[in-house]
A and B are shown apart, each in its own frame.
Chain A
Amino acid sequence: MSEAKIQRPLSPHLQVYKLPLTALMSISHRITGVGLITGTLLVTAFLVAAASGESQYDYVMGLATSLPGKIVLFLWSAGLYFHMCNGVRHMFWDIGKNFKKTDANRSNYYVLIGAFTLTVLTWVTVCGRLAG
């Protein structure tokens, strides 16, 4: 059985095609979703540490405000905003709106611009508060 499986010729799969932007956005939604699960682990770690006491809280807050911590938070926020904006697009699709190919191609850019704007807005606010 397994021998026959190995000898069988394979048809071209995903790697031979250039993925359109909609397909890249689709898989990115899933990748950011899985990435955000890692984020919930960090939230859990933070909350449990904070509930454990002041020294544990200071330790995780130190991690979060360090440069590597800030990089993680930045990527986290970008992934979150992408997932959120693309999720809103999914809701429009679910009610049967913007389902045509031209609409889907256009809304790619709405999602990307939305996610980009929210990420920039968030980090400008962060930097503004740090400076002020």
Chain B
Amino acid sequence: MSGHKNSEFVAPLKTAKGHGSAHEGAEHWLQQKITALAQIPLVLWLIYSIIGLQGASYAEFTAWMGQPVNAILMIILISSVMLHAKLGAQVVVEDYISCGCLKMAKLIGMKIFFYGMAVACIFSVLKIAFIAGI
């Protein structure tokens, strides 16, 4: 190992961290799994809620969102879903797009896209929740 030229350029800290050529540890995988696990009960709750809300009037819908527990769970779910989607889409892009510069552009674009959607959703939930019943 020490005879290899490349290893001379690698700081001992990098070897100690054991991150290798991926430049990061298990963070991507772990985030994907934690968000996935969190989403199982949250998505089932949302589907159950949507079934109850089908064809609901504006007043009924805003009243539902005005309940703190619903708005809070929605925001947690949205945050988790957007991160999960971003991580998943990142892997798809990494797997299928081989052109380096295009890949970087897509990865950056994707981040902006998913964070943008998260902001749009969270703002909307908060607005609906805060004006409900006024």
A interface residues with partner B (beta carbon < 8 Å): 30, 33-34, 36-37, 40-41, 43-44, 47-48, 50-51, 54, 57-58, 61, 64-65, 77, 80, 84, 87-88, 91, 94, 122, 125-126, 129-130
Contact = CB atoms under 8 A, between A and B. Distances in A.
A40 B120 contact: no
B106 to A, nearest CB: 13
B117 A77 contact: no
10 contacts: A30-B92, A40-B85, A47-B120, A48-B120, A51-B123, A51-B125, A51-B128, A61-B55, A61-B56, A84-B39
Contact of B37 (A44, A48, A91, A129): A91
Interface size class of B (residues with CB under 8 A): 20 to 34
Contact of A44 (B65, B120, B128): B120
A77 B128 CA distance: 25
A84 B40 contact: yes
Contacts of B120: 44, 47-48
Contact of B117 (A40, A58, A61, A64): A40
Contact of A65 (B55, B88, B117, B128): B55
Interface of B: 33, 36-37, 39-40, 43, 47, 51-52, 54-56, 58, 61-62, 65, 78, 81-82, 85, 88-89, 92, 117, 120-121, 123-125, 127-128
Q: For chain A, what secondary structure do more than half of its interface residues adopt (helix, strand, loop), or is it mixed?
A: helix
Contact of B51 (A44, A48, A122): A122
Contacts of A40: 81-82, 85, 117
A84 B62 CA distance: 29
Contacts of A130: 54
Nearest to A85: B40
Given A50-B128, A51-B128, A57-B61, A88 B40 contact: yes
B5 to A, nearest CB: 28
Given A48-B120, A61-B56, A122-B47, 16 more contacts: A36-B85, A40-B82, A40-B117, A43-B78, A43-B121, A44-B117, A47-B120, A47-B121, A54-B58, A57-B58, A61-B61, A80-B43, A84-B40, A88-B40, A91-B37, A126-B51
Most-contacted residue by chain A among B33, B88, B89 (CB, 10 A): B88
Nearest to B74: A47
A44 B121 contact: yes
